[in-house]
Amino acid sequence: MRPLSYVMDITIIILVSGYMLDLAPHYLGFSVYVSLIWIFTTHKTGFYEVYRFTTPIKILSLLGVQLLLFALIIFSFYGFFMEFSQDRETILKYCALTFTAIGMLKFGIFYFLKSYRTVLGGNFRRVVILGKTAYTEQLATFFKNNPDYGYKIIQLYDALDTQTSLEEVYASIIEKGVDEVYCSLSSFDNEIIREITDFTDNNLKILKFIPDNTEVFTKKLNYQYLGITPVLALREIPIDTPLNQFIKRSFDILMSLAVLIGILSWLTPILAILIKLESKGPVFFKQKRNGLDYEEFFCYKFRSMRPNPTADLHQVRKNDVRITRVGRFLRKTSIDEMPQFINVLLGDMSVVGPRPHMVSHTHMYAERIDKFMVRHFIKPGITGLAQVSGFRGEVEDDDHIINRVKFDIFYVENWSLLLDIKIIIQTVIKAIKGDERAY
């Protein structure tokens, strides 16, 4: 499919240029130039590195990056060879139309293959899993519940202790035409893992390891070389790069200014009157929370409870008597969180990130929940991936906070601007529809 995708995309680029752009007498030169540059840039950006497990948000990000490069390519051609004989508006329309067509084609192929795997059972890979653990069973369940990924489980083997049992597995893998072998690192010693590696290499089978021997290796490792010595960094945090910090901070400032000027400038006086009419106390509620690098800051909210001495100790529960009638509406619609855009503008928070907890709760979870502190590598957010994934509000048990931490760590290690936008859209939809955990 990949060579065919190259051909189809370049064909679209050339055909649309002939229809929209005035390239005479440079049409042939333009076609050669844009084709060669397209092949080079898409190779560098990984534009065609789309696999069965690639997410739609990743495809959108690839399209966005390539669109910017493509626009530069076209403007460069006109600047060097045609002295901008074409008006800029037409060039921009050409870029937009071309990428609309390429994007539709790219998503069309992506979803066609998903349907093809689900409906017709084609384009699948035969898989065996070696070692029966909680992680491997979870992986097997994922493959069975997601046929659109195109993986068929042939066998899930328990721990293999003897050479005889290994030989039987090898024979079965060859006989049944297995494509990929997934191996649990916790189920085998180094000698057996070496044997499995040799077998898969010598028989052209793809071997993938499930790093379940220790929690350290469940993270997104960053592989580097210092001289000729390989070094593994525990995790790579995208927001740590200067460019990404600039992008995220710029986005935060623009969003917070838009909300503060466009919404809170007129909404705050109305809510202030309603809050004051129902109960005595301040309009705003501030509470110490832990943010970036575990630093404490004051987090702002519209007051939704009657003033009480336990506000900094106990989380809100369902049907909590401390909540006012106005406060119940504010919490249900998440409007009570909107003053935190002040925190965003001040730099204490981001629009999207792990939700900050009360200081007392942070200390408690840091002692009880493994990897809880990882979420403090970045700024906390008004909303987050965990919140739109069903883990917002009251922490009912350890499973809830453990899952919240898992989503937060995934966000820390996989941040992108498109992911932020997706989370914001999901947050707005949940606020409009109502979330059963918003109380």
Q: Which amino acid is at 277?
A: L
User: 221-230, 326-335, 347-356: which has the minimum mean pLDDT?
Assistant: 221-230
**Cα 328 from Cα 321, distance rounded (Å):** 10
**pLDDT by residue (tens digit) across 10-62?**
999 889 888 888 777 778 888 888 889 888 888 888 888 887 778 888 888 88
Helix count and strand count (H, E) for the chain: 15, 10
What is the rounded average pLDDT of the residues 407-435?
Answer: 88
Q: Is the pLDDT of residue 216 over 50?
A: no
Closest CA to 57 of 423, 427, 432: 423
Please check whether residue 3 is in contact with residue 66, taking contact to mean a CB–CB distance below 8 angstroms.
no
Mean pLDDT of the chain: 83
Give the residue, 220 or 377, on which the prediction is more confident. 377
Give the residue, 412 or 370, on which the prediction is more confident. 412
**pLDDT by residue (tens digit) across 136-172?**
888 888 888 888 888 888 888 876 655 558 888 888 8
Which secondary structure element, helix H or strand E, spans residue 414, and what is its range?
none
Band (pLDDT 50/70/90 cuts) for residue 342 is: very high
Please check whether residue 234 is in contact with residue 224, taking contact to mean a CB–CB distance below 8 angstroms.
no
**What does the pLDDT read at residue 227?**
59
Query: Cβ atoms within 10 A of the Cβ of 102, count?
Result: 22
**Using N-to-C axis directions, what is the helix angle for 2-20 and 88-115, rounded to 10°?**
150
SS3 content of the chain, % helix, strand, coil (to 5): 60, 15, 30
**What does the pLDDT read at residue 424?**
93
**Domains with residue ranges and CATH for the chain:** 2-120 (no CATH), 125-218 (3.40.50.2300), 242-433 (no CATH)
Three-state SS sequence of 97-130: HHHHHHHHHHHHHHHHHHHHHHHHCCCCEEEEEE
- Residue 434 Cα to chain centre, angstroms: 23
**Using N-to-C axis directions, what is the helix angle for 27-45 and 2-20, rounded to 10°?**
140
Q: How many angstroms separate the Cα of 134 from the Cα of each of 58, 131, 214, 221?
A: 28, 10, 13, 21
Which secondary structure element, helix H or strand E, spans residue 373, and what is its range?
none
**Cα 256 from Cα 248, distance rounded (Å):** 12
**Cα 70 from Cα 12, distance rounded (Å):** 13
Q: How many angstroms separate the Cα of 1 from the Cα of each of 7, 103, 151, 252, 355?
A: 10, 15, 18, 39, 42
Q: Is the pLDDT of residue 68 over 70?
A: yes
Band (pLDDT 50/70/90 cuts) for residue 380 is: very high
Closest CA to 366 of 356, 381, 352: 356
DSSP-assigned letters across all residues of 162-224: SHHHHHHHHHHHHHTT--EEEEEGGGS-HHHHHHHHHHHHHTT-EEEEE--S-GGGGS--EEE
Whole-prediction pTM value? 0.62
Token pair 């997934």 in the structure block, residue: 182
